[in-house]
Structure 1
Amino acid sequence: MRLWLLPVAILAVFMALLGTMYLDYVVDPEENMHDFPIALVNQDVGDTIGAAGQERLVKFGDEVTEGLKKAVPADKIDLQVLPVNEASLRMQDNKVYGTILIPSDFSKRLGILGVGSVVPGDIQRPIITLQTNPRSGAFVTEIVTQIGTQALDQVNKQVGAQLTEQVQAQLTPPGRPPAPELSGATRVALAEPLQIVTQPFHPLPSGTGQGLTAFFYALLLLLAGLVGSMTIHTMIDAQLGFVPTEYGPWFVHFPPTPISRFHTLLIKWGVMVVTANVVAGVFLLVAKALGMPIDHPLGLFLYSALAIIAVGVTGLSVLAAVGSAGLLINLILFIILGLPSSGGTVPIEATPKYFGWLASFEPMHQVFLGVRAILYFDASGPAGLSRGVWMAALGLAVGLVLGLAITRFYDYKGLRRTGTGRPAAA
């Protein structure tokens, strides 16, 4: 019974974790949303209204700002009121996912609309611009558009109601007979006076898969390190005579080589470093051949090699520490926990909060940030490249220390790989 019960139990637990992680982060992004950063820029300078001697300065932009603060749910949206230059800088560095822009002539245009609605002449509705940040990801753009449209529609109706009252009041000064009711056409014009324009901030060029190439490129790097570590581990062990190599019904099992665990791991690490540089070059050539725009090919190559080495070295160290069980540990660490918390498809701010905790150290998220910064944000450090590099270096350091400490300890204890049935942790 143990022959089949143990693998069934392990796989059941393994797949339960897999199903939970992969479904939980996509089931309800709107419900899971938290701290989603959107900038609000109010450039309105106001306008002077009123009869001579009774002029007053009004700033409808301030009213719209307050209305937006109330319209967006504070527990879900981090609405940041910023100057235009700061908002633009944060968009460039991927610190905010969208910007709501109120122009400097907003109050003036709104006042003209109020007068023009009852006086013959050409008028234009005041414009509020909703800028999306497509380089943050396709799903991010969709969320920004949905949130911004809903909030601005609500504000539009509130401004329309206030403007209608003001126009009616101006047509009926104190002490004079009531003016005729506003016509239906006028009320329609005043009911929703704002024109909402959605436009991308720094649109992505063609060949970027609407912002998905960064995610899949990062996934390739992670898989190269993970699969590479498993392949190198198995093939080197086979060449050294620690495991048999099967070819269909035939197999070859070389005599065990008298070599320490430490030196075995050094050989595997060396092969991993060479492989990482070759594979990083292959990925770059394939991307270029497929027409993917790459403005910083050298930076992408160097970072790709670093990421593959970091993942591969850590994966080999885990295998050296716990043996075959390391395959499951590596899959859990790099794939099951890594992909949902990467932020490559659904932003971290639209997933359950524990994904944000995972994203603080999971390799996939760090690699994605680095690749996205290189491909979409001009290799900007603040946009994610700095974090991607130092986290990859930290991961590499952890892998090196783990591998060195474990193999040295096993060698010190005399746990040789001699095929004698003694404890093995290849």
Structure 2
Amino acid sequence: MTTDEPADRPVRHLRLRGWIAPIAVVTLLMALLATMYLAYVVNPTKNLHDFPVALVNQDDGDVLGDKPANVGNQITEALVANLPSDKIDLHVVGFAEAQRQLRQGHAYGAIVIPSDFTKRLAILGAAGVVPGAVEQPVITVHTNPRAGSFATAVMQRIADEALSRVDETVGKQLIDTVHAKLQPSPGTPGTELAGASQLMLAHPIQVVVAPYRPLPDGTGQGLSAFFYTLLVLLAGFTGAMTIHSMTDSALGFAPTEYGPWYVHYPSAPISRFRTLLLKWAILAVTAPIVSALFLGVATLLDVPLDHPLALFLYCVLAIMAVGVTALSVLAAFGTAGLLVNLILFIVLGLPSSGGTVPIEATPEYFAWLATFEPMHQVFLGVRSILYFNANGAAGLYRGTGMAVLGLAIGLLGGAVVTRFYDRKGLQRKPAVAAQSGR
């Protein structure tokens, strides 16, 4: 055996680890990405659960076929019984309450049966055999475009499927009523119902789809809140990564390399805790500048901004909460903190944000993620400011509270971990220096 072989063996072992470790990490990360992102979007109808819809029945009733009737009540009972409760969270409420839920984004749509519904139905039945002008009974479906464009599409599909069955059932009932009136007693010859009248009575209900408080131009059909949220998350996340790497380079804890230029400054005599404080301070200066920059770009692009000050302040808070937490994760885990932050803020955050596909149209574990994932909380706050008149109940209270909580967790966690490392003497030194200092 030659003398070089033992020295060469660790190098071969290191080369093997250098291949296996990155391949394994990338493979696992991509598996998580594929699972999260494809499950998020491939089958929203199948994944539907707890989708909030308001149902308003204002029908006063009337006489139908010489008998008192309230078809609105029958439709309400049929919708409550037939709409799958595990998919649709149907709330039978008054009109004022339905408006409140739509204004606050707590309902994705409302089905409204008007007060004269049975009366118009009775007139339509009479018009089948009596000449004269007539109007179809109307059911209005209010969508909520401010809650998201995809939520609007899901609401329309639900309404189409449910009300088409209602239309057929009511049409059959109306034809039977008219036939009974034309043929008063069994065995007695009566008047035949004209084919055109029978066709009209078979589908008596006119369904009108109307957006509740349509979005103005410059909102990307309800997507501007999501992309503004994405900007805020990236400002905190990538901002923290940039501040972390550039500060470490300046302090000599990591080399600085730009193209062929390479320099590694001597390590500064500074503790982990003070290093983290410095990075937090840089982030605190950066956050309002970036938030103002976003606001300026949005203004130049004619994005409707009814509450610019609220948007500016909220985004400063959100950038600080995300950035402080990301810097604390890096201080705690080092290089591995890059992956932790990527998974926490991006991989798990995007599909559970509710910014494109509503949470109620994704697998149920996304709803669990949305209870704490930062992107969903920030989205609720930004959407409330941009679309819901900065209404606290529409998500601003929750978004602000969760941002404050996240900021507190980031500050406390970072301080505790770095102070612990400092007290244990776990200094940031090269391996040779660390071994010689023992």
Question: Smaller-chain TM-score range?
Answer: over 0.9
Show the 5 A alignment for 1:17-28.
17-28=32-43
* Residue of structure 2 equivalent to 1:346: 357
Amino acid at match of 1:371: V
317, 321, 325: which is aligned to 1:310?
Answer: 321
Aligned mates of 1:201, 1:14 — CA distance in 2: 41
1:66 to partner: Cα distance: 1.7
1:134 to partner: Cα distance: 0.1
260, 281, 285: which is aligned to 1:274?
Answer: 285
* Residue of structure 2 equivalent to 1:320: 331
Are residues 1:240 and 2:255 paired? no
Aligned mates of 1:71, 1:138 — CA distance in 2: 26
1:58 to partner: Cα distance: 1.2
Aligned mates of 1:170, 1:247 — CA distance in 2: 90
Amino acid at match of 1:15: M
Contact 1:135 1:211 (C-alpha < 8 Å) held by counterparts: yes
Are residues 1:33 and 2:48 paired? yes
31, 34, 55: which is aligned to 1:16?
Answer: 31
In the TM superposition, what whole-angstrom CA distance separates every residue of 1:240-298 from its partner, at most 9, and x where no partner exists?
11111002122111111101111100000000111111000000000000010010000
* Deviates most, 326-335 or 168-177: 168-177
* Residue of structure 2 equivalent to 1:213: 224
- How high is the TM-score relative to the length of structure 2? 0.94
1:50 to partner: Cα distance: 6.0
Aligned mates of 2:397, 2:186 — CA distance in 1: 69
Aligned mates of 2:89, 2:407 — CA distance in 1: 34
* Residue of structure 1 equivalent to 2:267: 256
In the TM superposition, what whole-angstrom CA distance separates every residue of 1:292-325 from its partner, at most 9, and x where no partner exists?
0010000000000000000000000000001011
Aligned mates of 1:3, 1:418 — CA distance in 2: 22
Aligned mates of 2:235, 2:249 — CA distance in 1: 20
* Deviates most, 163-172 or 207-216: 163-172
Aligned mates of 2:198, 2:63 — CA distance in 1: 24
In the TM superposition, what whole-angstrom CA distance separates every residue of 1:8-46 from its partner, at most 9, and x where no partner exists?
011000110011101011110000000101110000011
Aligned mates of 2:261, 2:96 — CA distance in 1: 69
Contact 1:71 1:154 (C-alpha < 8 Å) held by counterparts: no
* Runs of at least 5 residues in structure 1 that lack an aligned partner in the other structure: none
Aligned mates of 1:98, 1:178 — CA distance in 2: 48
Aligned mates of 1:270, 1:85 — CA distance in 2: 48
* Residue of structure 1 equivalent to 2:60: 45
* Residue of structure 2 equivalent to 1:180: 191
Show the 5 A alignment for 1:20-169.
20-49=35-64, 56-169=67-180
Contact 1:71 1:155 (C-alpha < 8 Å) held by counterparts: no
Aligned mates of 1:351, 1:253 — CA distance in 2: 48
Match of 1:95, SS state, is: coil
* Residue of structure 1 equivalent to 2:423: 412
Contact 2:251 2:265 (C-alpha < 8 Å) held by counterparts: yes
How many residues align? The count is: 419
Match of 1:37, SS state, is: strand
Contact 1:240 1:257 (C-alpha < 8 Å) held by counterparts: yes
Aligned mates of 1:396, 1:155 — CA distance in 2: 51
Contact 2:63 2:122 (C-alpha < 8 Å) held by counterparts: no
Amino acid at match of 2:24: A
396, 399, 404: which is aligned to 1:393?
Answer: 404
Amino acid at match of 1:22: Y
In the TM superposition, what whole-angstrom CA distance separates every residue of 1:157-187 from its partner, at most 9, and x where no partner exists?
0000000000111112237823133121111
Aligned mates of 1:373, 1:307 — CA distance in 2: 14
Are residues 1:332 and 2:343 paired? yes
* Residue of structure 1 equivalent to 2:413: 402
Contact 1:164 1:190 (C-alpha < 8 Å) held by counterparts: yes
Change in 2 beyond 3 A, CA 1:411/1:175? closer
Contact 2:65 2:177 (C-alpha < 8 Å) held by counterparts: no
Match of 2:89, SS state, is: strand
* Residue of structure 1 equivalent to 2:20: 5
Contact 1:214 1:371 (C-alpha < 8 Å) held by counterparts: yes
Amino acid at match of 1:18: L
Identity, in percent, stands at 59
Match of 1:354, SS state, is: helix
Aligned mates of 2:261, 2:412 — CA distance in 1: 38
- How high is the TM-score relative to the length of structure 1? 0.97
Match of 1:38, SS state, is: strand
Aligned mates of 1:275, 1:136 — CA distance in 2: 31
Amino acid at match of 1:23: L
Contact 2:353 2:376 (C-alpha < 8 Å) held by counterparts: yes
1:71 to partner: Cα distance: 3.6
Contact 1:205 1:293 (C-alpha < 8 Å) held by counterparts: yes
Match of 1:32, SS state, is: coil
Aligned mates of 2:237, 2:65 — CA distance in 1: 71
Aligned mates of 1:375, 1:186 — CA distance in 2: 49
Contact 2:112 2:140 (C-alpha < 8 Å) held by counterparts: yes
Match of 2:63, SS state, is: strand
Amino acid at match of 1:234: S
Aligned mates of 1:237, 1:198 — CA distance in 2: 57
In the TM superposition, what whole-angstrom CA distance separates every residue of 1:341-400 from its partner, at most 9, and x where no partner exists?
000000000000000000000000000000000000000111000000000000001101
In the TM superposition, what whole-angstrom CA distance separates every residue of 1:218-251 from its partner, at most 9, and x where no partner exists?
0000000000000000011111111110021221
Match of 2:209, SS state, is: strand
Contact 1:258 1:418 (C-alpha < 8 Å) held by counterparts: no
1:116 to partner: Cα distance: 0.8
Aligned mates of 1:165, 1:50 — CA distance in 2: 9
Contact 2:182 2:192 (C-alpha < 8 Å) held by counterparts: no
